[in-house]
Homo-oligomer: A and B are copies of this chain.
Amino acid sequence: MAKDYAVGIDIGGTNTKFGIVDRKGNILEQGRMRTDAHENAEEFIDELYELLRPMIDKHGGNEVFKGIGMGAPNGNIYTGTIEYAPNLKWKGIIPMAEMVEKKFGLPTRLTNDANAAAMGEMMYGVAKGMKHFITITLGTGVGSGIVIDGKIVVGHDGFAGELGHVIIRHGGRLHKGTGAYGSLEAYASATGVRETAIEFLTAEPDAPSLLRSYTIDELTSETVYNCATQGDAIANKIFEFTGEILGEALANFVMFSSPEAIVLFGGLTKSGDLILKPTVQAMEANLIQVFKNKVKVLFSDLKEADAAILGASALVWETEH
């Protein structure tokens, strides 16, 4: 029987999303569950099985499924393991692909979540047909997936593409998770924007700002966006500052791999031109001549959950080439 379906699973720190995907990239059915409700990976897989098995059976059972693709933080495509993921409760090295394969009886591949998203962009998104591009996820953290010659860059050990951790401001802001000073993620993530807001508001205590009417817990990248659209000077300055740093980092990435496009993705992109304009301006300002006015900076047009599920499922088809 033709194996025309795949399962895509995206494991995030809080939620796990999964779906049934056909060869054209249609998500026929999807579901979600809490990741962090499970203290160990076995229990996580038990719940996943309870939810996903009926979906697989409904669409024809294992015999019409080519396999399962998974994206996960610190997922390693070479080994199918999740290794020391700081955002997951499961410690050490988890042989996730092997465990899922055994439970479901379907061939299973696993990769880094950001790489899965890049794969989704390449097969079904704005990077369709591109051979050289970089996706940057601007979410709670900053993730990245790098595509060169039509292939995801995984590097010597499977962990390439940790662009959120490059140092962009020597001696700059402390990243509480990694202990690094001045890494991109400390600025260009939702968390970073919030920290910038607090910094700016406390640095200029007399400057009026709509942001001052929010409690410290309400100060998020969304509230900064809302205030910026109402013309708030500090809120606008926050986006300019964030874009300046992000754009400088993008210029460095361009001088590394000379991509056709950079695809931005995740919560911060909802701020549209507020983040895009200063980012592109700073990127262009920091590029040497040969790269100027060549590289497109695009927003992903896939829904966030979809890109992750699609990208993970794409791992299944990739083995056919």
Using a CB–CB cutoff of 8 Å, the interface residues on chain A facing chain B are 74, 83-84, 131-132, 146, 148-149, 151, 153-163, 165-170, 178, 180, 248, 251-253, 255-260, 286, 288-291, 294
Interface of A: prevailing SS:
loop
With A153-B256, A161-B256, A162-B291 known, 18 other A-B pairs at CB within 8 A are A83-B290, A146-B256, A148-B148, A153-B257, A153-B258, A157-B294, A160-B256, A160-B258, A161-B255, A166-B251, A167-B286, A168-B170, A169-B170, A170-B170, A178-B288, A180-B288, A252-B252, A256-B257
In the complex the two chains form, what is the Cα distance from A290 to B162 in whole Å?
Answer: 10
Q: Which of B156, B167, B251 contacts A260 (CB 8 A)?
A: B156
A-B contact pairs, 27 of them (CB 8 A): A84-B289, A131-B156, A132-B155, A132-B156, A146-B256, A148-B148, A148-B153, A153-B257, A154-B258, A155-B257, A155-B259, A156-B260, A160-B257, A162-B256, A162-B258, A162-B288, A162-B290, A163-B255, A165-B255, A166-B252, A166-B256, A167-B248, A168-B170, A170-B170, A170-B248, A180-B286, A256-B257
Indicate if the CB atoms of A156 and B259 lie closer than 8 Å: yes
